[in-house]
A and B are shown apart, each in its own frame.
Chain A
Amino acid sequence: MRNVIFFTFMSFLFLNFSPGNFLIGNPDNAYAQDDWKQEYSAICANTQNAMALSIEKLQTLIERCDKLQGQIDVLTGPQAKTEKKVFTKRLKMCRDLYDFALLHKKENK
């Protein structure tokens, strides 16, 4: 009986805390995985009104882009290679636009 309980307990631990815990997901991991995508969406949501943003706001957005790129660079997991390729390009388009708008603002200050 003890063996059965021990085996069940060990199985429970294994299924929950092994890499890629497949029966019971770890919500913290799920949120951590999505955090950078949410940050990406939040940053790039301003592209359509970039020319109307203040210099300070644009500078903040560019800093956030650079910080996020750092996170993207160190992504791991089965999709990391693709995600790095896709989001590096997408983020660069945002960042370049903010940089473009910032330059415009500074020139016309």
Chain B
Amino acid sequence: MPDKILLYVCIILFSFTGFVSATNYDQYFPYIPSAQYYGKVILNNYSTKASVAPVVFDHWLHRAKFTCRLCHIDIGFAMKAGTTEIKATDNMNGYYCGTCHDGKREIAGKKVFDSCAEKYIAEDEKRCSRCHSKMNPGARKYNRETFTANLPRLHEDLIDWEKAEAEGKITPADFLEGISFEREPLKAQDDFSIKVTTWASDVIFSHKKHTIWNGCELCHPLIFPSSKKGTIKYTMFQIMEGEYCGVCHSSVAFSVYLCAKCHKSPVQ
């Protein structure tokens, strides 16, 4: 009898191994990038058509200086790469990238370089390629390795942004003169637990931690369309596919592979 059980166990394990080896994970899970590419966005709605290189946007550089809310609510960048459909004229009109990159605005005592222009001379190409740098990465001014060298790490090369702010190593701006407006003080909702039906421990979700950088309208109702506890049911597969928590925690905020960051009470 024990031999039979052993045999069944072996068959099950063998079948599972076969399934795993035959599975192309890329088909089922999104490509979760390594830390150096975390949040890197390539923008090419119009660049190639306009005979310029696509824009490489370094999320790590901007998030070190600004809160999520400032760019995604006040300036209005969409949460999904490429869906804002930024045009050079938008920037020239002082919106999107042009909100800061207008050649006049000063941030942390430095004048921010101008973005797009209707006419430009050969000398300007150096400035253009700071953003339109898909074919010329060397034209970018900031290097991730040196820029983030001083910042605390979560795991391997993933930056612990929360700790970085707590230690005063970054001070993300939350207000941009002429763009942001005075808001009523934030009233964060209570933390709550999310019941997990698998082997993992429940999640304690901290509203406070999320609203401090995001505000409310970044998540509701766009990402989480219901406020009634338990009405939205989602799986880790969906999260890894970039839905729900995965909108940020698959490419920008800490990785979903750091299970204990969420599946722990209280959340860390």
Residues of B close to A51: CB separation below 8 A: 187, 189, 216
The bracket for how many chain B residues form the interface is 20 to 34
- B227 near A89 (CB under 8 angstroms)? no
Contact of B217 among A45, A79, A85, A94 (CB under 8 A): A94
B181 CB-CB contact with A under 8 Å: yes
A86–B84 Cα gap in the complex (Å)? Answer: 9
B228 CB-CB contact with A under 8 Å: yes
A103–B220 Cα gap in the complex (Å)? Answer: 12
Contact of B215 among A41, A48, A81, A107 (CB under 8 A): A48
Number of interface residues of A (CB under 8 A): 30
- B185 near A100 (CB under 8 angstroms)? no
- Minimum distance in angstroms from A107 CB to a CB of chain B: 6
- A48 near B89 (CB under 8 angstroms)? no
Residues of A close to B217: CB separation below 8 A: 47, 93-94, 96-97
B177 CB-CB contact with A under 8 Å: no
- A48 near B227 (CB under 8 angstroms)? no
Segment of B18-26, B90-98, B256-264 in the binding face? B90-98
B76 CB-CB contact with A under 8 Å: yes
Interface of chain B, helix or strand or loop or mixed?
loop
Residues of B close to A50: CB separation below 8 A: 216
Residues of A close to B227: CB separation below 8 A: 100-101, 103-104, 107
- A48 near B221 (CB under 8 angstroms)? no
Q: Contacts A48-B215, A52-B187: A81 and B225 contacting too (C-beta < 8 A)?
A: no
- B228 near A46 (CB under 8 angstroms)? no
Residues of B close to A3: CB separation below 8 A: none
A101–B89 Cα gap in the complex (Å)? Answer: 36
A90–B181 Cα gap in the complex (Å)? Answer: 13
A81–B225 Cα gap in the complex (Å)? Answer: 29
- Residue of B at shortest CB range from A85? B90
Residues of A within 8 A of B (CB): 41, 44-52, 78-79, 81-83, 85-87, 89-90, 93-94, 96-97, 99-101, 103-104, 107
Q: A52-B187, A86-B90 are in contact. List 11 more A-B contacts (CB 8 A).
A: A48-B215, A49-B185, A50-B216, A79-B93, A85-B85, A85-B90, A86-B95, A97-B217, A97-B221, A103-B227, A104-B228
Chain A to chain B contacts (Cβ below 8 Å), 15 pairs? A45-B184, A46-B184, A47-B183, A47-B217, A48-B215, A49-B184, A82-B89, A82-B90, A82-B95, A86-B90, A86-B96, A90-B73, A90-B76, A93-B73, A96-B222
